[in-house]
Amino acid sequence: MSSVAFTNIATLVTNASHGDGTLGVLKGATLVVEDGLIAAITQGRPSGVDNEIDCSGKTLLPGFVDSHSHLIFAGDRAEEFSARSRGEKYTAGGIASTVGATRAASDSDLAHNAQRLLNEALSSGTTTIEIKSGYGLTAADESRSIEIAKSFTDETTLLAAHVIPQEYKQDPDAYVDLIINSIIPQSSAKWVDVFCDQGAFTPEQSEAILRAGIAHGMLPRIHANQLTAGKGVEIAVGLGAASADHLSKSTDADIALLASSNTVATLLPGAEFSTHLESNLGRRFLDAGATVAIASDCNPGSSYTTSMPFCIAAAVSLLGFTVEEAVLAATLGGAKALRRDDIGQLAVGKRANLVLLDSPSYIHLAYRPGVNLVHSTYKSGRAVTSWQK
Ligand code: NIG
Ligand code: FE
């Protein structure tokens, strides 16, 4: 049994009721970890611990839970981003070029690219991440994407229903049949997702795909209302999805439905930032009482960032979150969007996934945008510098 104590923590964000305010904040506390789990949170000096980490002047909070990312791809689309700066609209049409580059890449190129991005995420405080497929769009390419994702995380999501691939453009239902009858039955992903939107999958196709995934033992989540308002939220809530994501064009009825449901509203500040979509989006969901998560949506098209601190800052400055709401959404909100109760909070018995900031308060996450304040990231109580599962 090995133990470590984090002592003299200037600000400890627990997200639990033993602290003050929205974030359950404690000042000057000590947090003791034993065998990867939190064993105690006290005000006193610990006795009999193997190691001590002095956190004077620093902030300790739950590691960020990034519940939405697309990390299995090759190439990038910098030119597309640059065109948007000249007024081009984001339509998700660039996905096809990433599909081409991904199909042409070797397994090891895809794994190395994902590892590079995961190292970035880790160094900005992410300790849990969900990873989607969706740039393969053949049975073989979706399956290898999930296998690569599984080497990095247990939270893997089959997004074969990302767009209709070029070779099925004349017969989209044939691709839906392939997903339902071949790709899903062969998949070992935990989650199933569909991009239910204009130019992607219709509500009928989306529901049929999610139902097929559920019948195969997968848990549903959805991309909804990113480009246009549609039926994605209704489908998600009807199927008991863990999360509905993007939601940029949501109607008030969608927001009320989510707020009355068990489905988390996951907002993606990086995508709002990079595609010039909706401002003040967060306030509408928060004021309605929805459970809200924020995630990176890291992908080469709409949001090429791995940084949850950046997403927190963008949520505050663009989407109308308070700092506390944004930090909560990036930690406990993400855990809820993945239906995980072992992470996202610092309390006895929870996993010791932690981020230590070189700043006296969590407020600096939004107050000092673009500055990496992360001193170290801990998974199960161990400082880690290279992402591993
Ligand atoms: O979540 N909306 C669909 N999928 C991605 C974007 C994919 C891309 O542009 O490559 C998203 O934003
Ligand atoms: Fe996405």
User: pLDDT tens, 332-344?
Assistant: 999 999 999 999 9
Q: What pLDDT, on a 0 to 100 scale, did the predictor assign at position 121? A: 98
Q: Of all protein residues, whose CA lies closest to atom 1 belonging to ligand 1?
A: 297
Q: What pLDDT, on a 0 to 100 scale, did the predictor assign at position 47? A: 85
In contact, 364 and 356? CB cutoff 8 Å:
no
Give residue 106 CA to ligand 2 midpoint distance, Å.
23
Q: Closest Cα partner for 119 from 386, 388, 344, 389? A: 386
In contact, 220 and 210? CB cutoff 8 Å:
yes
Which atom of ligand 1 lies closest to the CA of 223? 2
98 lines ligand 1 (CB under 6 A): yes
Question: Which ligand is closest in space to the CA of residue 270?
Answer: 1
Tokens of 359: 């700043």
Q: What pLDDT, on a 0 to 100 scale, did the predictor assign at position 1? A: 63
User: Which regions of the chain are under pLDDT 70?
Assistant: 1
CB within 8 Å of 122: residues ≥ 6 apart: 377, 384, 385, 386, 387
Q: What pLDDT, on a 0 to 100 scale, did the predictor assign at position 303? A: 98
299 lines ligand 1 (CB under 6 A): yes
301 lines ligand 1 (CB under 6 A): yes
Q: What pLDDT, on a 0 to 100 scale, did the predictor assign at position 2? A: 87
143 lines ligand 1 (CB under 6 A): no
344 lines ligand 1 (CB under 6 A): no
Tokens of 55: 């956190």
Which residues have beta carbons under 5 A from ligand 2 (an ion)? 297
Give residue 256 CA to ligand 1 midpoint distance, Å.
25
Q: Domains along the chain?
A: 3-63+344-383 (2.30.40.10), 64-337 (3.20.20.140)
Q: Of all protein residues, whose CA lies closest to atom 11 belonging to ligand 1?
A: 302
d(CA 277, CA 249): 9
Condensed to tens digits (0 to 9), the pLDDT of residues 41-76 reads 999 888 889 999 999 999 999 999 999 999 999 999
DSSP string, 317-354: HHH---HHHHHHIIIIIHHHHTT-SSSSS-STTSB--E
